Amino acid sequence: MSPEAAELDRRFRAAIADDLDLPTAMALVAGLVHSAIPPGDKARLLRDWDRVLGLDLERSEPKMVLPDGAAELLSAREKARAAKDFARSDQLRDELAAVGVTVIDTAEGQRWRQKLGGQALPPDPQT
């Protein structure tokens, strides 16, 4: 571990030992992320500190699965838009919304996000 990383680790542990001084600990996390410390040292410290902070940084993103039939609707909508059949495209958007899929049109094509429990998730990288 580099001397700079060791010093940040010492300061982090001192902040935690000081009656769980979380504002200082989180400031050190932000400082570490933006520092010139080698990436391997950064990753090691963030994993170690995460065990204390419980931020769950190594959690993987949930895999988004489309409801049955939604992939076909997305494909049909994409074809309708390419054919400039916007009435059909809007109808398919409504059908997708009914099964919990929101379609976002971008310059790169359509993107979608799924609503789970009434809350919209960020757009999926799929088009």
Q: What percent of the residues of the chain are helix, what percent strand, and what percent coil, each to the nearest 5?
A: 55, 15, 35
* Cα–Cα distances in angstroms (integers) from residue 24 to residues 46, 96, 103, 114, in the given order: 15, 46, 41, 37
Residue 64 has pLDDT above 90, yes or no: no
Residue 117 has pLDDT above 80, yes or no: no
Q: Output the CA torsion sign for 77, 102, 59, 47.
A: positive
Tokens 């001084």 correspond to 21
Residue 108's pLDDT is what?
A: 83
Average pLDDT across the chain, whole number? 86
Residue 116's pLDDT is what?
A: 62
Residue 118's pLDDT is what?
A: 45
Residue 126 has pLDDT above 70, yes or no: no
pTM of this structure: 0.49
pLDDT level of residue 109 (50, 70, 90 thresholds): confident
Query: Phi and psi for 83 in degrees, rounded to 5?
Result: -85, 5
Residue 122 has pLDDT above 70, yes or no: no
